[in-house]
Amino acid sequence: MGTQLVEAVIDGVLTGGLYALMAAGLTLIFGMLEIINIAQGIFVLLGSYLSYALWAHAGIDPFLGLLVTIPILFVVGIGVEWAFMRRIGDRDRVSMSILVTYAVSLVIEGALDIAFGTTFVQLRPSYFARTWHVFGFYLEYIYVFGFVLAALLIAALYALMYRTRFGASLRAALQDRTAATLIGVNVKRVSTITFGIGVAVTAAGGMVFGATNDFSANSSTDLISRLLTIIVLGGLGSIGGAMGAAVFMLVLEDVVAVVWSPVWAPVIYFLVLLIVLSVRPQGLFGKVSTRAQ
Amino acid sequence: MAPQTSDHVSDRVAPALASTQPLLEFRGVCAGYGGADILHEVSFEVPEGGLTCVVGPNGAGKSTLLGTVSGVVRTTVGELVFRGERLKKATPRERLERGIVQVPQNHSLFREMTVRENVELGAFILKDRTIVRERYEQIAETIPIVAERAKDKAGSLSGGQQRLVEFARCLMLDPALVVLDEPSMGLDPHTRKIVFKTVRSLHRHGRTVLLVEQNARAGLRLATHGVVLENGRVRLAGSGREVLENPEIGALFLGGVVGASRPAGAPETPPGR
């Protein structure tokens, strides 16, 4: 049992890194645009299918394929923001965004069903299933590579936010849109690019998700439920909070599966959400929202 | 020269201001939000090197007026002319590039960023980092709180300190026109004095200041020129003293007759109030 428990924790941390990356994109979009992007789940699946298509039909390694899929998802994000998000007014903004992104999600899901069918597929390059033997534990390449990839991309995201001029404008607009406008930040442009970045990270998330799970376009429902739970627990708009919550929740789920039962793992996952929200509505790591308009 | 009073003088430029070279002109400006105009044919001039104070009751359209200057509120009719050029289609960024900088009414510092980051962001549109560093050093010498609290988060500063850092930030572009929206709002009397002193200092150092101030007496005492706005129209424009001493305006907006017309025995409102 002890070994299984440690294994569950390691699995939870490795998978949590991946969810942290996907949730970081989602929470960044919420923080910047004040919209809940229900389509984030289907964007992840779009990333999975794009990697799958490149690997299955062109023989391109999924990691190498990210050089193509990340820019594609970035452009898709920019397009969706331009076409739909910027037309949502200030009134009932959050609820309208849920409806609009849900509609976007359904359209993409339908397109994926038509293009790839409804049967489950999986990305399985042969080396993904190889393992490293470390301190008596077997770690699959794909989980380790996926974790490293997520860590690198999160570091890149932080570097972008804290080391670049664009990042300064993004952080300024996150805190006070009017004040940011008055110092010369083009808030609309920053919002569009932020949406693009938030969607682009799903390319990497989707590739690793597709390599570790059988998937179909329908898988997006479960995925978005988990991602929303993570960003709510992490405190809406907080990237650091999303990372902490992602690792915490994935470790918790894996540990419950080992200690109790795999059937109870998802139940506990969402039960924790309800309990935390009832005692700490701003989430585990969040602060009470203070953004000015 | 006697001040001009009228309910609808908006189509005229006040004679008291016309004698000085205008930096900014409002020419029959109408503006508002969501299709409804709050400003109605507003016309007056902001003379170069002057300190123009706009006063008026709540809802008169003072902040909307400043919004048309910085570009966050669009004019529907009329135009703003800055240094002889029309501003109508200029974005907020283009207005910054021309030297128009606004400090908004509510505390506008980025609370999660340090004081230094906030001040440097005042020069966001400049790409030359050397100039940004040099300006920062100069401003940190002039406004000590910037150097003293450089590494602290802006949100940890008191209201008055935040105001001073906002002033510091607006100076990073070496602006031709500083637009201040109710800088004394929400401050205690002592801090208010410091803020007004800083506003006076900005003006004495040769900057043109356009100030909106709820604290009408204090604002007009600082001002070389005064404008009274009522229901989105210019009620009166003249020198600061003329507006301050106008009996009708005093009775309407300044809590009674002021200056020479003050009744014997009536207590003078303390300075800075």
**Residue in B92, B104, B117 nearest the CB of A184:** B92
Q: Which residue of A has its CA nearest to B100?
A: A182
- Rounded distance between C-alpha atoms, residue A14 and residue B70, angstroms: 49
- Rounded distance between C-alpha atoms, residue A108 and residue A104, angstroms: 6
Inspect the interface and report whether the beta carbons of B104 and A183 lie closer than 8 Å.
no
Q: A34 pLDDT band (50/70/90 cuts)?
A: confident
Confidence at residue B254, expressed as pLDDT on a 0 to 100 scale: 63
Cβ of B117 under 8 Å from any chain A Cβ?
yes
Phi-psi region of A160 (alpha: psi -120 to 50; beta: other; left: phi over 0): alpha
- Rounded distance between C-alpha atoms, residue A10 and residue A16, angstroms: 10
Q: Which residue of A has its CA nearest to B118?
A: A172
Both tokens of B157, joined, read 């500063």
Residue-range domain boundaries for chain B? 47-61+90-254
- Which residue is it, tokens 């428990």? A5
In this prediction, what percent of chain A has a pLDDT beyond 70? 97
pLDDT for A151-168, tens place per residue? Answer: 999 999 999 999 999 999
Looking at this protein, which amino acid is placed at residue B227? V
Mean pLDDT estimate for chain A: 89
- Rounded distance between C-alpha atoms, residue B242 and residue B228, angstroms: 11
pLDDT beneath 70: ranges in chain B? 1-20, 252-273
pTM as predicted? 0.82
Closest listed residue to residue A156, CA positions, set A204, A190, A195, A189: A204
What count of other Cβ atoms lies within 10 Å of the Cβ of residue B22?
20
Inspect the interface and report whether the beta carbons of A184 and B111 lie closer than 8 Å.
no
ipTM over 0.95: no
Neighboring chain B residues of A172 at a CB cutoff of 8 Å: 110, 113, 121, 124
Look at A51 and B259; give whichever has higher pLDDT: A51
Confidence at residue B20, expressed as pLDDT on a 0 to 100 scale: 58
Q: Mark out chain A residues that contact chain B at CB-CB < 8 A.
A: 165, 168-169, 171-172, 175-176, 178-186, 290, 292
Q: Could you give the angle at the alpha carbon of B224 between the alpha carbons of B218 and B228, nearest 5°?
A: 65
How distant, in Å, are the alpha carbons of A30, A102, A194, B121, B247 from that of A84?
A: 15, 12, 15, 31, 56
Neighboring chain B residues of A176 at a CB cutoff of 8 Å: 108, 110
Inspect the interface and report whether the beta carbons of A183 and B124 lie closer than 8 Å.
yes
Q: Which CATH architecture has domain B47-61+90-254?
A: 3-Layer(aba) Sandwich (3.40)
Confidence at residue B1, expressed as pLDDT on a 0 to 100 scale: 37
Residue range A173-178: mean pLDDT, rounded: 89
Residue range A96-109: mean pLDDT, rounded: 95
Both tokens of B236, joined, read 């009166």
The 3-state DSSP class for residue B39 equals strand
Q: Residue A126 carries which DSSP code?
A: G
**Residue in A175, A181, A186 nearest the CB of B110:** A175
Which residues does B181 contact at the CB level (< 8 Å), separation at least 6?
Answer: B62, B63, B66, B102, B103, B104, B105, B212
The minimum CA-CA distance between B182 and chain A, rounded to whole Å, is 15
Burial of residue A293 (CB within 10 Å: 0-12, 13-18, 19+) is exposed
